[in-house]
Structure 1
Amino acid sequence: MVVMAVISAVGLVIDDRVLVGAPIWFKPFKFAVSFVAYCLSLAWMLSLLPRGRRVGWWAGTVVALASLVEMAIITGQVIRGKRSHFNHETPLDEALFQAMAVTVVILWLGTLAVAVLLLRARIADRASAWAMRCGILLALAGAAVGFLMTRPAPGQRRGVSKVIGAHSVGVSDGGPSMPLTGWSTTGGDLRIPHFVGMHALQLLPLLIAVLTALAPRFGRLTDDRVRLRLVLLASGAYGAVFALVLWQALRGQPLTHPDGATLGVAGLILVAIVLGAYGSLRGPTPPAGRVADDAGTSKEVTA
């Protein structure tokens, strides 16, 4: 996937073809970069399993192979100058899209198997364990949004229309969009909750890394109970944001133009985060202890 990201980046520079309102190599570039982050995250999580590593290896291999097949179809369609998703123009295009649909289901089931292993695993650091568990469950929810995109959009009819399904809601694909992401600025876009949900796989474990880095400066963060509460709060808030952007997209509302209801819910989520963080940090702190300094001596520390 790293190699494909480089090839797609070169394609963006030397190939000026445009498909559905975007440079034709933009889709394989986005998918390649996304698969790099996705598969590296799963591989790291599998390396932490105390048990079930053989099952995890098979699940990870299934995910990797399904990703490879999907990427091969996307790239092949780019070379042909055809859209890969929702394409029913010819029997070949339809067969390729159906094959992609199968690989997505297989990829989702492989990730579900990894999630079950993580839920059953006994990992010493509870905060890290729940960051990974919540991250992969939210990633599964984000990936499942892709199934909503395959429904016929208004005006599309199975067996008649050349395109069945859409990223956008309330508007046609390929209209005005945000830079870099390509998300619609005139209607809802299901790629937004898809993106938000799937990247919980990286962002929630990243929170643990940040908390660990800050622990030497903020004594409260050395308490595993405090870190666990913060991780659960972040996971709940992340899930709420995912639900909010999904609700916004399904109503045909662009991310850049939220209405009063969307802003109101976003405000409630923000208040809940602030109050939750305050409550989490007010909890018990670790008792005074002795830690070794860099010179090998000991000194008293308090939280």
Structure 2
Amino acid sequence: MREDQAAALVGEQFPDLRGAPVELLATGWDNTVHLVGGRWIFRFPRRAIALPGVEREISMLPALAPRLPLPVPVPARVGRPGDSYPWPFWGAELVPGRELAEAGLSGAGLTTAAAGAGAFLRALHDPDLAAEAGAGLPVDPMRRGDPGVRAPMARERLAVLHRRGLWRPDPAVERLLAEGEAAEPPPGPPVIVHGDLHQRHLLVGPEGRASGVIDWGDLCLADPAVDLSLAYSGFSGQARAALLSAYGRPVGPGRETAARVLAVFLCAALADYAESTGRARLLASSLAGIRRAVSP
């Protein structure tokens, strides 16, 4: 989706934004995001596989946003499919902040960001929220909470990085993945999860204050481990302890293993994406995240 195409679509369906400046803000695997008029972000799916996620964002985020302690995008302008673009798209007011992966935070800043993320996840994972708002959500459709599924996938991603000279095999990572392959999914009822919570989707502001959570296309019901992977991919040491303390719910060894295994997978996938798109800072942060995933 080029800027001129986005401008034409937005201007056609939302006349008050016709002629507003349009800037490419981000490109991911499934969606392209443009900033319109310096205030509105418009999210355009890039392929059909992303459509169920777009529809969940449109239907669920307005209901979830008031229940969460950090801003999330709230689709307020929903675009219709047409001759020039075959899929629905949506616009929401910009959630300010920088991606955690790009912010270059210090130790104190990381601790602040981690505490904010933990408080956010405590609210999101509230069983009452799942009971009230989770009806109709799929249950872990990508099996991200099952370490027996994700550990072999992580191996495949790491092998790609190794062939490219970006990663050298690490015995600690190998032990974690072997443990994951032998593990059962964590027990317990599913909760509402973001579903893809990594270093690009937590936004931070000055001094590391968590400022928002974006990209909800994988929103679903699943084990909390799916989102707690951020504790192990994005943070270590005192910062991780701050996140888990703010989260305030027991994690347990099985859930921790599942979260760590998923952290390795997500960081390896991000590193692959970062290298192929020339994003040096994201690449460095993602490779560091693999090491964090096995750190105490």
Q: TM-score under structure 2 normalisation?
A: 0.27
Larger relative contact order (C-alpha < 8 A, sep ≥ 6)? Answer: 2
Higher helix share: 1
Greater gyration radius: 1
TM-score (norm 1): 0.27
